DNA sequence: CCGTTGCGTTAGAGCGCTCCAAATCTTACG
DNA sequence: CGTAAGATTTGGAGCGCTCTAACGCAACGG
């Protein structure tokens, strides 16, 4: 910066003004500075800037797993909205691991991000709350209540109910749920499933799933081997559903003829007409967008009470669900 | 830091030593500092640290599109290896847009990242070269030659050849390629396709594709409407292939009976047995890993000549390819 | 009993930038 | 031509940390 100032024949302060395109710089000087900067390949050091400014205009986002297309779409919503407001978004990958997420939070905090956006976190409530004392924090796709922090969710319990009701309406009575294991929204979806089953007078049956295709296999194999295959499977997410589809096929079962399958998230995978997966839809882009809006209300408008936005899930009916054979 | 030092009854310098867990601090003082830091909720400011140290131990990665699972797997390879060497990885999403990528590069450079990892960049060679003057830069999944910078690729031309040869071996003579349009590796794959077709004595036919499912539709619809449907389609990537599968199905055509489809990347989408997509495989995890190794050779060992690592693609044969009807 | 050694500790400068108050230059006007 | 009001520009302190060189002190040998 010093060098640029000298070359342009001005003071360091003036260079700073130009780099932040302040309006109160004469055109002549501005141009001189810009030219000098260009000639020298000068690029402001963000660390120095952030240090001096005590602001970073940067938001920290942690996503559960870059693998899962659900999260990718939330990211697009977040980025688009953050950009509009002049914030950079730093992404750290949680990698489906609470410990890694904890380190990611720490990294973000040390980077002095102005807010934390946790998408489908695996962290404990305590960890989240602790982070929220340091910096505004919003949990997206939370599934359950996070006391004290902003949350953007779709009503997972209701989403699960939609899925079950759809299957019940088709005439299914034997519906198994493969859950999300330690995933944060797993509990709400299981609860919705169980309630809906009970209120339809049916007996719930829940198997342990996990995050993705691979985690579905064990559950479906178990169903096949114990000869307890239901007429319908409601999966924790689209990946599990896709895994179920694969494993069912490998077991020689037809979907939807032998077994109906319903997923959750309605990602592009469900949409692929080859998959044609009936799935509960979450408005991902909007969720990302609302996350930023919510956080900006804290940063810029100084809101302090936790916000709680609960969106309404819908059901996208496709080819993987049909009436059971016996009906 | 000042406050922590006071509370622990030591100097600021000592706090610094403790925070960087230097061995030359007495246990008593170390503990005192740690306790004070904990009580005060002290967290070192990374910007100040980076400024003083003139190192950031941070790598900047830009991925073409978080949507595409191919990139996600490269990310895992990069992260795992970077972590081993004590580097943080900052991810910025290119969003399939050269202009956004350019801004992302700028952001990373201002953040003083110690290296740049570009995964499937949409940037021009010039932009890439310019970045490489500032900081060690490696291009992953580059597809074509990038003079002056390190590249990690799989041989895309050969990959395309594998796909075509597989189809030719099955007896296909009418094979259309849906390309990657502006994608960086599109050219190499098209070239491989064309060469392989010619050397098999067949006439190449290339349609414009793009990045994902949506971009496949136009091409396939065109084939259907102009009554020029081939017996096999070789797609630029798995997403395009998946889109082709969908559109073919919508047109009432069976895969592989009426049309064989081959994808590229061999992501989990291809693996889903419902998709069962024959696809060219790239060793993604290894590519990420090698990217970091290569870059570390520059940072830590001071290599200066550009490295060029070209891996060998393989073909994963699945259910979407079969002999043509007429054969 | 004193000079040495070496460990543990510290003062203080400096990293590259922003921001404030104050200095300087322009312009307009009586 | 002098002056006040703006418009520009500048010096210097300060952001929170690391790093170097130097310092204090206990243990040790002669």
Q: Quick one: three-class SS letters along A252-263? A: CCCCCCCCEEEE
**Looking at residue B41, what is its pLDDT?**
92
Q: In what order do the strands lie in the sheet with A232-235?
A: A205-207, A175-178, A232-235, A260-265, A278-281, A314-316
- Partner-chain contact A48 B45, CB within 8 Å: no
Query: What backbone phi and psi angles, to 5 degrees, belong to B89?
Result: -120, 125
Under DSSP, the state recorded for B255 is T
Terminal-residue alpha carbon distance, chain A:
77
| Distance (Å, whole) CA B302 – CA B242 | 44
| Distance (Å, whole) CA A143 – CA A323 | 30
- Chain position carrying tokens 């991000």: A113
Query: 3-state SS of A118-181?
Result: EECCCCCHHHHHHHHHHCCEEEECCCCCCCCCEEEEECHHHHHHHHHHHHHHCCCCCEEEECCC
Q: Is A327 exposed, middle or buried (0-12, 13-18, 19+ CB in 10 A)?
A: exposed
A52, closest nucleotide (Cα–C1'): D15
β-strand partners of A233: A176, A261
CB-closest option in A76, A111, A133 to B46? A111
Asked if pLDDT for residue B268 goes beyond 70, the answer is yes
Taking CA B280 as the corner, what is the angle to CA B274 and CA B285, rounded to the nearest 5 degrees?
Answer: 95
**Looking at residue A263, what is its pLDDT?**
97
Task: Choose the mutation target among A96, A240, A272 for the interface with B, i.e. most B CBs under 10 Å.
Answer: A272
Token digits for B122?
């949409």
pLDDT in tens, chain A (327 residues): 999 999 999 999 999 999 999 998 999 999 999 999 999 999 999 999 999 999 999 999 999 998 899 999 999 999 999 999 999 999 999 989 999 999 999 999 999 999 999 999 999 999 999 999 999 999 999 877 788 899 999 999 999 999 999 999 999 999 999 999 999 899 999 999 999 999 999 999 999 999 988 999 999 999 999 999 999 999 999 999 999 999 998 899 999 999 999 999 999 999 887 889 999 999 999 999 999 999 999 998 889 999 999 999 999 999 999 999 875
Beta strand spans in B113-238 (E): 115-119, 137-140, 150-154, 175-178, 205-207, 232-235
- Partner-chain contact B275 A273, CB within 8 Å: no
Question: In this structure, are residues B67 and B235 in contact, taking their beta carbons and an 8 Å threshold?
Answer: no
Question: In this structure, are residues B186 and B244 in contact, taking their beta carbons and an 8 Å threshold?
Answer: no
Omega of the bond leading into A256 within 30 degrees of 0 (cis): yes
At B167-186, the pLDDT tens digits run 999 999 999 999 999 998 99
Kind of pairing, strands B308-311 and A205-207?
unpaired
| Distance (Å, whole) CA A223 – CA A235 | 14
- Please state, rounded to an integer, the average pLDDT across all residues of chain B: 94
- Chain position carrying tokens 């100040």: B48
| Distance (Å, whole) CA B118 – CA B125 | 12
Neighbours of B127 (CB within 10 A): 16
CB-closest option in B41, B249, B271 to A273? B249
B95 contacts chain A (CB < 8 A): yes
| Distance (Å, whole) CA B278 – CA A317 | 28
Model confidence at B245, pLDDT cuts 50, 70, 90, reads: very high
- Partner-chain contact A272 B275, CB within 8 Å: yes
Nucleic acid strand D within 7 Å of B317 CB: no
Helix (H, G, I), strand (E, B) or coil at B58: strand
Question: In this structure, are residues B37 and B15 in contact, taking their beta carbons and an 8 Å threshold?
Answer: yes
Instruction: Name every chain B residue with its beta carbon within 8 A of the beta carbon of A245.
Output: 272-274
A17, closest nucleotide (Cα–C1'): C18
Phi-psi region of A130 (alpha: psi -120 to 50; beta: other; left: phi over 0): alpha
Model confidence at B61, pLDDT cuts 50, 70, 90, reads: very high
Asked if pLDDT for residue B43 goes beyond 70, the answer is yes
Token digits for B313?
């693609």
| Distance (Å, whole) CA A202 – CA A213 | 27
Omega of the bond leading into B56 within 30 degrees of 0 (cis): no
- Partner-chain contact A56 B48, CB within 8 Å: no
| Distance (Å, whole) CA A169 – CA B140 | 50
| Distance (Å, whole) CA A247 – CA A250 | 5
Spanning CA of B50 to C1' of C15, the rounded length in angstroms is 9
A252 contacts chain B (CB < 8 A): no
Residue B103: C-alpha distances to residues A222, B98, B99, B110 (Å): 50, 9, 6, 11
| Distance (Å, whole) CA A160 – CA B22 | 53
For B241-266, b/e burial (b = at least 16 CB within 10 A) is: bbbbbbbbeeeebebbeebbbbbbbb
| Distance (Å, whole) CA B194 – CA B164 | 9
Biggest alpha carbon distance in chain B?
87
A17 contacts chain B (CB < 8 A): no
Model confidence at B302, pLDDT cuts 50, 70, 90, reads: confident
List the one residue out of B167, B224, B228 whose CA is nearest residue B192. B167
Q: What is the dihedral of CA B55, B58, B63, B69, to 10 degrees?
A: 170
CA distance B303 to chain A (A): 23
CB-closest option in A45, A243, A250 to B112? A45
CB-closest option in B56, B79, B93 to A79? B93
Neighbours of B55 (CB within 10 A): 11
- Partner-chain contact B93 A110, CB within 8 Å: no
Orientation angle between helical segments A213-225 and A238-250, nearest 10 degrees:
40
| Distance (Å, whole) CA A101 – CA A96 | 8
At B104-151, the pLDDT tens digits run 999 999 999 999 999 999 999 999 999 999 999 999 998 777 888 999
| Distance (Å, whole) CA A326 – CA A21 | 72
| pTM given for the model | 0.92
Token digits for B211?
């990045």
CA distance B233 to chain A (A): 16
Spanning CA of B7 to C1' of D11, the rounded length in angstroms is 35
Instruction: Name every chain A residue with its beta carbon within 8 A of the beta carbon of B272.
Output: 213, 242-243, 245-246, 269, 275
Query: What backbone phi and psi angles, to 5 degrees, belong to A115?
Result: -165, 160
Asked if pLDDT for residue B326 goes beyond 80, the answer is no
């Amino acid at each position: 910066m010093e060098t640029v100032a000298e070359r342009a024949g001005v003071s360091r302060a003036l260079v700073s003004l130009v780099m932040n395109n302040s309006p109160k710089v004469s055109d002549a000087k501005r141009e001189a500075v810009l030219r000098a900067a260009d000639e020298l390949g000068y690029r402001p050091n963000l660390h120095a800037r952030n240090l001096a400014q005590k602001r970073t205009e940067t938001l920290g986002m942690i996503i559960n797993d870059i693998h899962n297309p659900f999260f990718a779409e939330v990211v697009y919503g977040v980025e688009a909205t953050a950009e509009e407001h002049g914030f950079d978004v730093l992404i750290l990958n949680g990698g489906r691991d609470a410990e890694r997420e904890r380190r990611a939070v720490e990294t973000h905090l040390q980077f002095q991000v102005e807010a934390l956006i946790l998408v489908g976190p695996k962290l404990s409530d305590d960890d989240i709350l602790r982070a929220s004392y340091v910096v505004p924090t919003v949990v997206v796709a939370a599934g359950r209540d996070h006391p004290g922090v902003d949350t953007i969710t779709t009503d997972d319990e209701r989403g699960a109910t939609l899925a079950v009701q759809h299957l019940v309406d088709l005439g299914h009575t034997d519906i198994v749920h493969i859950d999300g294991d330690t995933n944060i929204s797993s509990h709400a979806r299981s609860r919705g499933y169980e309630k809906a089953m009970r209120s339809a007078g049916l007996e719930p049956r829940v198997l342990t799933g996990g995050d993705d295709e691979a985690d579905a296999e064990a559950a479906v194999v178990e169903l096949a081997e114990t000869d307890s295959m239901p007429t319908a499977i409601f999966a924790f997410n689209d990946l599990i559903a896709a895994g179920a589809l694969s494993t069912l096929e490998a077991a020689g079962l037809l979907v939807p003829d032998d077994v109906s399958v319903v997923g959750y998230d309605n990602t592009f995978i469900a949409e692929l007409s080859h998959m044609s997966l009936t799935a509960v839809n979450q408005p991902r882009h909007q969720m990302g967008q609302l996350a930023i809006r919510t956080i900006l209300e804290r940063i810029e408008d100084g809101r302090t009470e936790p916000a709680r936005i609960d969106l309404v899930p819908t059901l996208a009916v496709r080819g993987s669900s049909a009436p059971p054979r016996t009906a």
